[in-house]
Amino acid sequence: MITHRPLQNHLLANVCLLGLAGLWVHPIHASEPQKTSFASDIRPILSKCITCHGPSKQENGLRLDNARDAAKLKAIVAGHASESGLIKRVTSADPDHRMPPAETGNPLTPKQVETLRNWIDSGAEYTPHWAFQPITNPQPPDIKTAWVKNSIDPFILSTLNRLSLTPSPEADKASLLRRVSLDLTGLPPTPAESIAFQNDRRPDAYEHQVQRLLASPHYGERQARHWLDLARYADSNGYTIDGPRSIWPWRDWVIKALNQDMPFDQFTLEQLAGDLIPNATQEQILATGFHRNTAFNEEGGTDPEQFRVERTIDRTNTTGTVWLGMTVGCAQCHDHKYDPIRQRDYYQLFAYFNNVDEPKISVNSPKVQAEVHQLKRQLANLETQNPLARSPALPTNDEINQFRFASRNAFQIAPVTNAIALKASLEIQPDQSILASGTNAGGETYKIQFKSPFAKLSAIRLETLTDPSLPKTGPGRGSNGQFRLLKVRLSQNNQNLPLASADADIEQTGFPVSETIQSTPMAKGWSTHSGKSDGPNQPGTAIFRLSNEMAVSADSIFTLELQFPDKPAGAAIGKFRISVTDAGTLFLNLPIPAQAIITSTLAPLEPSQKQAFIDLVQLKSQKADPKAVRLRTLIRTLEETTTSLALSVPASPRTTRILQRGDFLQPGEPVNANTPQVFDHLKPIPEKTAPDRVQLAKWLTRPDHPLTSRVAVNREWQKFFGSGLVETENDFGLQGSLPTHPELLDALASRFMADGWSLKRLHYLIVTSATYRQSSRHRPDLNAMDPQNRYFGRQNRLRLDAETIRDNALAVTGQFAKTIGGPPVFPPQPAELFQFTQSQRGWKTSTGPDRYRRGLYTWIWRQSRHPLLTTFDAADALTACTRRNRSNTPIQALHLANDPVFVELAESWAKQVLALDPSASDTTRLQSLYQASFNRPPADPETARLLHLISSERSAGHSEQLSWTTIARVLMNTDEFITRE
């Protein structure tokens, strides 16, 4: 399968062939005699063998990934290459005998054979994989030069020295401030901030700026976006339906946590297991939204268990990527081919996330919380003043008996004389229920004629029943077993009998049964559907009370007409039964489940039945006081205004089984939640024995964990340089790249933990280093030796991320709305966008300041993201994104040049420049635009170009406003505008 590496590695390989190998692969040893390194020389060669002779497969019993097994069949005889089977096989003259087999198309080169031979002759030492070794705390090399600013720099400098390279000088103050402002807060410096910095002559003027930026509330916004990439955050469910979801309160939690510099171990604990922390706060539960950012399939006809497993797999893989920097997902179907992760390890990790439920939680701002508090006080007052508004005292035994007496005449099943439907065929069953089959179309109506055994008719009961012939057993004929009953009409001899009220024991939110007796044409009707795709699959009951009791004679025939909507089509009731009663209000006023309890038996009620009955009655009478009901409704609505998604623990735990070949239909052996075997030396967790998510979080952030801190600091480094010290930031496994600066990586990782996992301290350390402050100018000597700048002999010019491109343009043109947090917003976007999605998404373009909010707050529909985000490589919200692409396309050019948002910004910017001082010269105006854009004045050739443009604009007869808009557009379209230098 492995045939070639991505481009950079090719380039690297070629440079190696040109004779720079020593410098490239182990710069540290460049000046020492060549020594074969297992990690960088041998492992890549052996990995050609490992697929068939490794942890997952041992053809002919041979395994080559560790010294002990490799020695067994004399494949490797340490010290004696010529006696080693491995060498014999890879050099065999017989093509059938030679390894690797020709059909793999991956032969060893003579040089690789030679390397293997040398390694075996010199003892065939297998060194363990660096990333699984304990993190050390190396001291910086003892180099003192004027260039060095802090403990990072000696590491960088000593490597550069070994390569006979020099670091770059510090960038000029203007570039430096723009760089660090964009990196820390995602916003450019304001002109006032620039001036203050330029005029600050203190030796630590820069450090003061860094402190200011770290304290800015916009720091949390910028850093949160990086974390949202990892969390695959979006405001919709994904897959084909892609319905909206509310999880932005979690996004705000991240912003707040980062602004408060919550220690990374706590940040980890709250997000993985906040709900399990003893006496968890609302905030801690909210934090578990991290793993609710998975996509959710709402498509009809899917198997809910399949997609629950998919979400659990996603959580497992994301955890592996974000904290371990490992591709654990490879072990979903089989033992990992390269890394020591067995399939069993995978499902043990999976088990931590298999035992979660996925609740929606109510999250309110302090303001709304105060409002709710206020309303609750009002309700309490009301209840004090008017005891009737409160739940009544418990019913006495006498009262209960009265109910029981009343229930004597409770519902009896009505004998059906005729049942017809407009489209379906209806069949009367022996138990008098009616089953529908055949055509299942919109605009259906059923007419049922029945008699009553009573002398009076006071109410009709309609039971909706399940049946194996119905989709997901019904009770409806919709694909999920749902129905939608639009209208109910009762008549006798074509005389309409008005209905006074309708009650039901189950109602889908928004589809109450009361709708069925309204005359309004907008009525949506009654549904018992849970709203989830797994269907109701339970019977329901509705009771319709007649406005006037009817006298019934022996030959009275009533007609009940049930109407179903045109749309959704095919949502008629599949099986139902009609009952009648003559019971009076005392009984009918009881809630339906209470009616069921009281009619269930003639024997005295059990204590538990009695309690349930009392509870139900209380509930109902509370509802009866209109004022209290209004207040209670208001409180409930407010509490539900802001919701988010979180994790919780299910009432009954699920057993996790190894899924054979990763297929949820093939569960195998059961496993318990546990951490991977390769880290067994990190067990047991002293303070906890029960394997839950708390255990996992604490295990990940153990100080002796070899991966978490390294993976985290590497990603943080990447934020400030464009690439990490380990280039494969998402793969610290055996196939990943080796760190260019292993000692620096460890020094940072151990410092990070020693500093209490403080991200702000880490960021301070990085951005105040001389390494960070270097100029990003390309240098021929560096380009020749280190074209990818892996050794940081200069800074990198980095194209801004999608959201930062927008934020920077808003800030530069003076339109930026500072509000932090809150629901997502809808900045303008082309209407054509939704042509390509299944559903026409709501995009009600925001007005006022919400048009100018940071890109972080733009609503993200997974299937139709804002074109700014797709065009400029924003994270796709499908898998954890550890590093964004930085592409450079004509589509981006068109976007910046012509998108109405950017043109509008250019126009308003031009207006400001013209309003500034009517007598200002063109050059002065250009200077002010340049200062705002780039934090520097224009160079002469730049001024010349732009003066030429402005005069051509004028000669073309364009207004000053349009001419300056063009100038503004030009600046906004330069490479420099969207690049942090």
Partner 1 sequence: MAQYPPEFQAKMQNLIHRRHFLNDCRIGLGGMALASLGDTLAPNQALAGMEPEPFGPHFAPKAKTVIFLFMAGGPSQLELFEPKPTLNKLAGQITPDSFTKGKRFAFLKPNAKLLGTKEKFQKYGQCGMDLSGHLPFHREIVDDICWLRGMKTDVFNHGPAKGFINTGSPQFGRPSMGSWLSYGLGSESKDLPAFIVLQSGPRGPRGGAAHWSSGFLPTRHQGVPFLKGNTPILDLAPPQGRSRTDESRFYETVKGLNEIRERETGDPEIATRVAAYEMAFRMQATAPDLVDIHGESPLTLKRYGVESGKPSYAMNCLLARRLVERGVRFIQLYHTDWDHHGGPLDLADSLTKICREVDQPTTALIQDLKLRGLLDSTLVVWGGEFGRTPMGESRETIGRDHHIDAYTMWMAGGGIKPGLLYGKSDEIGYNVIENQMHVHDLQATMLHQLGLDHKRLTYRFQGRDYRLTDVHGEVVHKILA
Minimum distance between the CB of residue 787 and partner 1, rounded to whole angstroms?
A: 4
Of 459 and 950, which has the nearer Cβ to partner 1?
950
Closest CA to 238 of 861, 777, 770: 861
Determine the interface stretch with partner 1 among 117-125, 285-293, 595-603, 771-779 (rule: CB under 8 A). Answer: 771-779
The yes or no reply on residue 240 touching partner 1 (CB under 8 A) is yes
Torsion of CA 723, 726, 732, 733, to 10 degrees: 120
What are the residues whose beta carbons fall under 8 Å from the beta carbon of 556, sequence distance 6 or more?
A: 451, 452, 492, 550
The yes or no reply on residue 899 touching partner 1 (CB under 8 A) is yes
Question: 710 vs 599, 704, 739, CA distance in Å?
Answer: 67, 11, 10
Determine the interface stretch with partner 1 among 503-511, 584-592, 633-641, 834-842 (rule: CB under 8 A). Answer: 834-842
Of 733, 824, 827, 855, the residue at the interface with partner 1 (CB under 8 A) is 733
Of 320 and 821, which has the nearer Cβ to partner 1?
320
Using CB under 8 A as the binding rule, the residues of this chain from 146 to 175 that contact partner 1 are: 164
Of 169, 191, 650, 787, the residue at the interface with partner 1 (CB under 8 A) is 787
Closest CA to 167 of 966, 789, 885: 789
Of 698 and 865, which has the nearer Cβ to partner 1?
865
How far is the C-alpha of 625 from the C-alpha of 813, rounded, in Å? 56
The yes or no reply on residue 663 touching partner 1 (CB under 8 A) is no
Of 381 and 439, which has the nearer Cβ to partner 1?
439
Question: 416 vs 475, 483, 513, 682, 842, CA distance in Å?
Answer: 19, 22, 23, 71, 47
Determine the interface stretch with partner 1 among 130-138, 285-293, 394-402, 953-961 (rule: CB under 8 A). Answer: 953-961
Opening angle at CA 258, ends 864 and 184, nearest 5: 80
Which helix (H) or strand (E) segment holds residue 562: the answer is: strand 558-563
The yes or no reply on residue 127 touching partner 1 (CB under 8 A) is no
How far is the C-alpha of 902 from the C-alpha of 896, rounded, in Å? 6
The yes or no reply on residue 845 touching partner 1 (CB under 8 A) is no
# of chain residues touching partner 1 (CB under 8 A): 119
The yes or no reply on residue 695 touching partner 1 (CB under 8 A) is no
Using CB under 8 A as the binding rule, the residues of this chain from 459 to 488 that contact partner 1 are: 471, 479
Of 3, 279, 494, 553, the residue at the interface with partner 1 (CB under 8 A) is 3
The yes or no reply on residue 548 touching partner 1 (CB under 8 A) is no
Of 338 and 454, which has the nearer Cβ to partner 1?
338
Closest CA to 76 of 128, 132, 38, 26: 38
Query: HEC states along 251-302?
Result: HHHHHHHHHCCCCHHHHHHHHHHHHHCCCCCHHHHHHHHHHHCCCCCCCCCC
Minimum distance between the CB of residue 705 and partner 1, rounded to whole angstroms?
A: 20
Q: How many residues does the chain have?
A: 981
The answer to whether the CB of 475 falls within 8 A of the CB of 483 is yes
Of 498 and 787, which has the nearer Cβ to partner 1?
787
Beta bridge partners of 659: 667
Per-position x/- string for 193-232, each x denoting binding to partner 1 as judged by CB under 8 A, each - no binding: ----------------------------------------
Determine the interface stretch with partner 1 among 484-492, 494-502, 654-662, 956-964 (rule: CB under 8 A). Answer: 956-964
Determine the interface stretch with partner 1 among 414-422, 588-596, 730-738, 765-773 (rule: CB under 8 A). Answer: 730-738
Minimum distance between the CB of residue 423 and partner 1, rounded to whole angstroms?
A: 8
The yes or no reply on residue 666 touching partner 1 (CB under 8 A) is no
Of 391 and 966, which has the nearer Cβ to partner 1?
966
Of 299, 549, 606, 704, the residue at the interface with partner 1 (CB under 8 A) is 299
Pairing relationship of beta strands 360-362 and 643-645 according to DSSP bridges: antiparallel
Per-position x/- string for 621-660, each x denoting binding to partner 1 as judged by CB under 8 A, each - no binding: ----------------------------------------
Of 391 and 804, which has the nearer Cβ to partner 1?
804
Closest CA to 461 of 496, 437, 438, 490: 490
Using CB under 8 A as the binding rule, the residues of this chain from 917 to 936 that contact partner 1 are: none
Minimum distance between the CB of residue 790 and partner 1, rounded to whole angstroms?
A: 13
Determine the interface stretch with partner 1 among 9-17, 93-101, 510-518, 536-544 (rule: CB under 8 A). Answer: 9-17
The yes or no reply on residue 236 touching partner 1 (CB under 8 A) is no
Of 16, 368, 605, 833, the residue at the interface with partner 1 (CB under 8 A) is 833
The answer to whether the CB of 272 falls within 8 A of the CB of 765 is no
Per-position x/- string for 426-445, each x denoting binding to partner 1 as judged by CB under 8 A, each - no binding: ------------xxxxx---
For tokens 């006074």, what's the residue? 500
**DSSP letters spanning 214-255:** HHSHHHHHHHHHHHHHHHT--SB--TTT--B---HHHHHHHH
Of 629 and 891, which has the nearer Cβ to partner 1?
891
Minimum distance between the CB of residue 867 and partner 1, rounded to whole angstroms?
A: 6
Please give the single-letter amino acid code of residue 672.
Answer: N
Determine the interface stretch with partner 1 among 282-290, 527-535, 772-780, 908-916 (rule: CB under 8 A). Answer: 772-780
Using CB under 8 A as the binding rule, the residues of this chain from 853 to 882 that contact partner 1 are: 863-865, 867, 870-871, 873, 876, 878-879, 882
Minimum distance between the CB of residue 956 and partner 1, rounded to whole angstroms?
A: 6
The yes or no reply on residue 776 touching partner 1 (CB under 8 A) is yes
How far is the C-alpha of 125 from the C-alpha of 139, rounded, in Å? 27
Using CB under 8 A as the binding rule, the residues of this chain from 309 to 338 that contact partner 1 are: 321, 326-327, 329-330, 338
Residue 73, CA atoms < 13 Å, CB-side half-sphere: 16
Minimum distance between the CB of residue 970 and partner 1, rounded to whole angstroms?
A: 5
Minimum distance between the CB of residue 889 and partner 1, rounded to whole angstroms?
A: 5
Of 135 and 971, which has the nearer Cβ to partner 1?
971
Opening angle at CA 59, ends 57 and 61, nearest 5: 100
Minimum distance between the CB of residue 95 and partner 1, rounded to whole angstroms?
A: 20
How far is the C-alpha of 805 from the C-alpha of 803, rounded, in Å? 5
Beta bridge partners of 980: 798
Closest CA to 347 of 703, 654, 650, 55: 654
How far is the C-alpha of 255 from the C-alpha of 857, rounded, in Å? 12
Of 456 and 797, which has the nearer Cβ to partner 1?
797
Minimum distance between the CB of residue 582 and partner 1, rounded to whole angstroms?
A: 40
Determine the interface stretch with partner 1 among 656-664, 693-701, 712-720, 773-781 (rule: CB under 8 A). Answer: 773-781
How far is the C-alpha of 162 from the C-alpha of 150, rounded, in Å? 20
Using CB under 8 A as the binding rule, the residues of this chain from 82 to 111 that contact partner 1 are: 105
The answer to whether the CB of 953 falls within 8 A of the CB of 966 is yes
Using CB under 8 A as the binding rule, the residues of this chain from 390 to 429 that contact partner 1 are: none
The answer to whether the CB of 654 falls within 8 A of the CB of 308 is no
Per-position x/- string for 561-600, each x denoting binding to partner 1 as judged by CB under 8 A, each - no binding: --------xx------------------------------
How far is the C-alpha of 575 from the C-alpha of 558, rounded, in Å? 19
What are the residues whose beta carbons fall under 8 Å from the beta carbon of 206, sequence distance 6 or more?
A: 173, 176, 180, 197, 768, 773
Question: 303 vs 214, 258, 307, 665, 838, CA distance in Å?
Answer: 47, 38, 7, 11, 21
Of 110, 301, 686, 918, the residue at the interface with partner 1 (CB under 8 A) is 301
The answer to whether the CB of 594 falls within 8 A of the CB of 613 is yes
The yes or no reply on residue 947 touching partner 1 (CB under 8 A) is no
Residue 607 CB neighbour total at 10 angstroms: 8
Please give the single-letter amino acid code of residue 390.
Answer: R
